[in-house]
Amino acid sequence: MKDENFLKANNAQHMWHPMTSPADSLANPPRIITKGSGVRITDIDGHETIDAVGGLWNVNLGFSNTAVKEAISNQLDELPYYSTFRGTSNDQVIELSYMLGEFFKPDGLTRSFFTSGGSDSVEVMLRLARQYHKIKGESGRTKFLSLKKGYHGTHMGGASINGNANFRTQYEPLMAGCYHIPAPYTYRNPFNETDPEKLAQLCLQALEDEIAFQGANTIAAFIMEPVLGAGGVIPPHPGFLPAVREICSRNGILLLLDEVITAYGRLGSWSGARHFGVKPDMIATAKAITNGYYPFGATMISDTVAEVFESDQTAAANIASGYTYSGHPVGAAAAVACLKETLRLNVKDNAAARGTQMFEGVQALMAKHDIIGDIRGGVGLMTAMELIGDKDKKAPLDKARIAKFYEATYAAGTMVRVSGPNVIISPSLVIEQADVTKILADLDHGLSQA
Ligand code: PMP
C-alpha cells in the first residue's frame, strides 16, 4: 500500500466521490478504509469499527467469506470474461440463472437478465415494461408512476422515477411521463396522518386518483421499493403492497419492485415480494447478489411477461438492451457462491432475529434521547433513526450536531451512515447478538455527544 500522505494528497487532487460535493470532499477528506474482516472494517489509522452499514446495504455475508473468494479466484483462472450477447453464453451464468429461477420461483419470476448493478437493473425494468406493452399492441402505455421518497439509482430513467429532489434537480429535465405518489411515511406526509393503516389508504387513493387523471391506458408501470431504503427506511403498512398489486392488475399496469436492497434476506424474508405476499411482474436486484465482492445485478422477469416476449418472433421483442458485463462469468461465479452461502447460512432468519434486537434497542434509545424524532424498521436488518432539533416542529437536527454524533459513534467503534437527518443501520446479515449490543451502546454514546 502507498503511504498515507500519498493517498490523502491524491484522493484530494484526483478523485471525485459519488453523492458528495467536490468542495465538501476537499474540506472534509474521506476516511481511507484499508481492511474488512467479518463484520468489521479498519481505517488507515488502524481504527477498527463494526460496519453497521454493511458496505452500502450489500455486504450481507460479511467481508471474509472464503467460498465467495475462492469462486472468484477459480473463475479468473478459467475464464475471466466472455460476453453473453447473441450467440454466446458461459457455464457460470447458466448455473446462476438456474439458481435465481429456483430462488424467485415462489415470486413467479424465473427469467433473469443480467446487469452490472442496481441502476442498470432498474433501467432494464423500465425498458422492458415499455417494450412489453408495445409488443402487446398497447404502445400508448409509456408512463411510470412511483413513490415520493423512493430511490431507484442514478441512470436518467432511475433519476426520473426517483422521489427525492436531492437526486433530481441537478439533472433536469429528466425523462418525461414520470409521476409521483405520496409515500406511506407516517412521520412526515401531506395528509398529517400518523396512523399507518389510514395513511396507506390515503396513499392508495392518491394512486387511484393519479391513474384516473393520467388515464390507465397511458401507464406502463408502477415501481416501488418494498421497504423504501435511501429515503430513510420507510416500511409501508403490510396491506399497502397487496393493495397496490390489485390496483395495478385491475388497470393493466405492471408492478415493478426495486429489490436492490431488500432481496436475499435483508427483510428477514427471501424477498420483499414474499415478505408482503405479492407477485410482481419484474424485480430489480443487485447489491447482495454478489455481496460487494463483484459489481453485478439482475432483473428478474415473471413468467407472464416472459411469455409475451418469447412468443413474438418479430424485432419488436428483440431485447435491445444489454451491457458489456451482462452475465460476466466472474460476477456470475461470485453470485452463484453468494447465493449458495446465503441459503446455507439461512441469513434471513438471523436478519429477522438481529433485526428485532436492533429495533427494540433503538426504541429504548428513543425513550432516552430527545434528538430522536422517529425510528423506523422492524423489518429485518433495515433500521433508521431520524434526528431532530425540535420535537414539536420536527426540524432536522443541525448538520454540526449530526457530524458530532457521527464522529463520536465512529470513535466508539461503530460506522453508521448518515443521510440528511436519517441514521441508517443495515449491518451484514451474519452479525451476532453481541455485535448488535455493541452497535446500540455506541449509538447511545454518539447520541449523548451530539
Ligand atoms: N435501487 C435501490 C433501491 C437502491 O438502494 C440502489 C442503490 N443504493 C439502486 C437502485 C442503485 O444501485 P447501484 O448503486 O448498484 O447502481
Interval 388-446: pLDDT, tens: 999 899 999 999 999 999 999 999 999 999 999 999 999 999 999 999 999 999 999 99
How far, in Å, CA of 161 to CA of 211, rounded?
16
Q: Best substitution site from 120, 122, 149, 382 to test ligand 1's pocket, by max atoms within 8 Å of Cβ?
A: 122
Ligand 1: atom nearest CA of 297 is: 15
pLDDT in tens, 267-283: 999 999 999 999 999 99
The answer to whether the CB of 283 is under 6 A from ligand 1 is no
Confidence of residue 68 (pLDDT cuts 50, 70, 90): very high
The answer to whether the CB of 260 is under 6 A from ligand 1 is yes
> What separation in Å is there between the alpha carbon of 391 and the centre of ligand 1?
31
> What separation in Å is there between the alpha carbon of 369 and the centre of ligand 1?
31
Tell me what the mean pLDDT of segment 287-307 comes to.
98
Q: For the purposes of burial, counting CB atoms within 10 Å of the CB of 121, is it exposed (0-12), middle (13-18) or buried (19 or more)?
A: buried
Is residue 1 scored above 90 in pLDDT?
Answer: no
Is residue 109 scored above 90 in pLDDT?
Answer: yes
> What separation in Å is there between the alpha carbon of 421 and the centre of ligand 1?
20
pLDDT in tens, 173-218: 999 999 999 999 999 999 999 999 999 999 999 999 999 999 999 9
Ligand 1: atom nearest CA of 230 is: 5
The reported pLDDT for the residue numbered 231 is 97
Tell me what the mean pLDDT of segment 247-264 comes to.
98
> What separation in Å is there between the alpha carbon of 333 and the centre of ligand 1?
21
The reported pLDDT for the residue numbered 234 is 98
The answer to whether the CB of 226 is under 6 A from ligand 1 is no
What's the whole-number average pLDDT of the chain? 97
pTM of the model: 0.98
Confidence of residue 36 (pLDDT cuts 50, 70, 90): very high
Q: Best substitution site from 19, 116, 260 to test ligand 1's pocket, by max atoms within 8 Å of Cβ?
A: 260
The reported pLDDT for the residue numbered 2 is 82
Percent of all residues in the chain with a pLDDT value above 70, rounded to a whole number = 100
How far, in Å, CA of 159 to CA of 322, rounded?
19
> What separation in Å is there between the alpha carbon of 234 and the centre of ligand 1?
16
Given the cut 0.90, state whether the ipTM is greater than it: yes
The reported pLDDT for the residue numbered 229 is 98
The reported pLDDT for the residue numbered 228 is 98
The reported pLDDT for the residue numbered 324 is 97
Tell me what the mean pLDDT of segment 231-260 comes to.
98
Placement of cell 434509545 in the chain: 365
The answer to whether the CB of 229 is under 6 A from ligand 1 is yes
The answer to whether the CB of 259 is under 6 A from ligand 1 is no
Q: Find the Cα–Cα–Cα–Cα dihedral 156, 158, 163, 166, rounded to 10°.
A: -50
Tell me what the mean pLDDT of segment 82-86 comes to.
97
pLDDT in tens, 89-99: 999 999 999 99
Which of 304, 283, 303, 183 has its CA nearest to residue 236?
183
Confidence of residue 60 (pLDDT cuts 50, 70, 90): very high
Q: Name which residue sits closest to atom 14 of ligand 1, judged by CA.
A: 118
> What separation in Å is there between the alpha carbon of 96 and the centre of ligand 1?
21
pLDDT in tens, 210-241: 999 999 999 999 999 999 999 999 999 999 99
Q: Best substitution site from 19, 59, 119 to test ligand 1's pocket, by max atoms within 8 Å of Cβ?
A: 119
pLDDT in tens, 374-384: 999 999 999 99
How far, in Å, CA of 383 to CA of 210, rounded?
31
Tell me what the mean pLDDT of segment 132-136 comes to.
98
The answer to whether the CB of 118 is under 6 A from ligand 1 is yes
The answer to whether the CB of 52 is under 6 A from ligand 1 is no
pLDDT in tens, 7-32: 999 999 999 999 999 999 999 999 99
Tell me what the mean pLDDT of segment 39-64 comes to.
97
Could you give all domains of the chain from N- to C-terminal order, each with its CATH number?
Answer: 31-61+346-449 (3.90.1150.10), 82-342 (3.40.640.10)
The answer to whether the CB of 122 is under 6 A from ligand 1 is yes
Confidence of residue 43 (pLDDT cuts 50, 70, 90): very high
Strands 33-37 and 383-390: unpaired
Tell me what the mean pLDDT of segment 254-263 comes to.
99
